[in-house]
Amino acid sequence: MWKPRFEHYVALGDSYTSGPLIPVPKLTPPLGCVRSMLNYPTLLAVKARAGSFDDVSCGGAETSHMTAPQRTPLGTNAPQLDALRPDTDLVTLGIGGNDESVFGGIVGTCPGLRDLDPTGAPCREHFTGDGADELLAAVERTGDRVEAVLREIGTRSPEARVLVVGYPRITPDPGVGTTCPKVLPFADGDLEWAHGVETALADALREAVHRANAAHGPGPEMSFVDMHPASEGHDACSADGAWIQGRITNPLVAMSYHPNAAGMRGVAAKLHRVLS
In contact, 21 and 250? CB cutoff 8 Å? yes
Q: How many CB atoms lie within 10 A of CB 37?
A: 15
Length of the chain: 276
CA distance 13 to 106: 20
CB 11 within 8 A of CB 90: no
Main-chain dihedrals φ then ψ at residue 118, nearest 5 degrees: -60, -30
The question of whether 256 is a catalytic residue gets the answer no
Instruction: Identify the three-state secondary structure at position 159.
Output: coil
Describe the crossing of helices 102-113 and 188-216 by its angle, rounded to 10 degrees.
170
Out of 8, 15, 57, 238, the active site residue is 15
Q: Which residues contact 237 (CB under 8 A, 6 or more apart)?
A: 171, 172, 178, 179, 180, 183, 184
15 assigned to active site: yes
> One of 65, 195, 228, 258 is an active-site residue; which one?
258
> Residue 227 and residue 234: Cα distance in Å, rounded?
11
The span from the CA of 214 to the CA of 210, in Å, is 6
Contact of 184 with 99, CB cutoff 8 Å? no
End-to-end CA distance of the chain: 20
Residue 71 phi, psi (nearest 5): -80, 135
Contacts of 238 (CB under 8 A, 6+ apart): 172
Contact 237, 213 (CB under 8 A): no
Q: Catalytic residues, which ones?
A: 15, 258
